[in-house]
């Protein structure tokens, strides 16, 4: 798994207005901005992103994924 593949998997399963993925092949970090996160608590947002990975998270293709999740409005307040 490389960053481009992981990016494509997340983007295919969740409409993102901004998506950054970085990592070393086992440990990943992501910044995910999506309208789908509106009204969700942080844990639900993370679960939504994990859902895009399906079995890849369970069979250790993606060993660890830390993430920051935002709605577009929240992302705008980050100065980005």
Domain boundaries defined on the chain: 3-77
**16-52 pLDDT, tens digit each:** 999 999 998 888 999 999 999 999 999 999 999 999 9
> What is the reported pTM?
0.92
Q: pLDDT-based confidence at 77, cuts 50/70/90?
A: very high
* Strand-pair category, 18-23 with 64-70: unpaired
CA distances from 69 to 45, 50, 60 (A): 7, 12, 22
* Contact (CB, 8 A) for 52 and 67: no
Class of domain 3-77: alpha beta
pLDDT of residue 26: 82
Q: pLDDT-based confidence at 78, cuts 50/70/90?
A: confident
* Contact (CB, 8 A) for 32 and 16: yes
């Amino acid at each position: 798994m490389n960053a481009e593949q992981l990016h494509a998997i997340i983007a295919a399963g969740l409409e993102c207005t901004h998506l950054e993925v970085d990592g070393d092949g086992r440990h990943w970090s992501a910044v995910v901005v999506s309208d789908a996160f509106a009204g969700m608590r942080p844990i639900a947002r993370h679960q939504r992103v994990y859902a895009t990975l399906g079995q890849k998270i369970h069979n250790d293709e993606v060993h660890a994924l830390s993430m920051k999740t935002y709605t577009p409005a929240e992302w705008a307040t980050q100065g980005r």
